[in-house]
C-alpha cells in the first residue's frame, strides 16, 4: 500500500512523507534511538551555526551572553509571572 493512499493530501510535508517511506518497515528500538539522536544533533548544529552567524553579524561576544544571563537573573527575582 502506498503512503499517499492512506494519508489525506495536504496533511504532511514532502519531507514527512519521505521519512514515512524510509521507515515503513519494522526496525529494532535501538535504531529509532540512534535516528532520533542523529536528527537531534543535526538540528542542534544548525541552530548553533545560526547563532554563531547572528553573533558575528551583530558583533556580539561574551559580553552579550553575560548581559542576557544578568537579565535572566534579574527577571527571576523581579519579574511578575502571569
- Domain containing 26 equals 3-78
Confidence of residue 11 (pLDDT cuts 50, 70, 90): confident
Nearest partner of 38 among 13, 58, 19, 11, judged by Cα: 19
Q: Is the dihedral of CA 23, 26, 29, 34 positive or negative?
A: negative
pLDDT, tens digit, for every residue of 20-64?
898 888 889 999 899 999 999 999 999 999 999 999 999 999 999
Q: How many Cβ atoms sit within 10 Å of the Cβ of residue 4? A: 12
Number of domains the chain is built from: 1
Model pLDDT, residue 58: 95
How many angstroms separate the Cα of 36 from the Cα of each of 39, 47, 58?
5, 16, 33
- DSSP code per residue over 42-63: HHHHHHHHHHHHHHHHHT--HH
Amino acid at each position: 500500500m502506498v503512503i499517499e493512499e492512506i494519508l489525506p493530501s495536504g496533511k504532511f510535508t514532502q519531507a514527512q512523507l519521505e521519512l514515512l517511506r524510509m521507515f515503513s518497515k519494522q526496525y529494532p528500538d535501538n535504531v529509532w534511538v540512534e535516528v532520533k539522536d542523529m536528527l537531534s544533533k543535526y538540528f542542534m548544529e544548525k541552530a548553533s551555526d545560526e547563532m554563531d552567524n547572528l553573533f558575528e553579524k551583530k558583533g556580539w561576544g561574551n559580553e552579550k551572553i553575560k548581559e542576557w544571563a544578568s537579565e535572566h537573573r534579574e527577571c527571576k527575582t523581579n519579574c511578575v509571572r502571569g
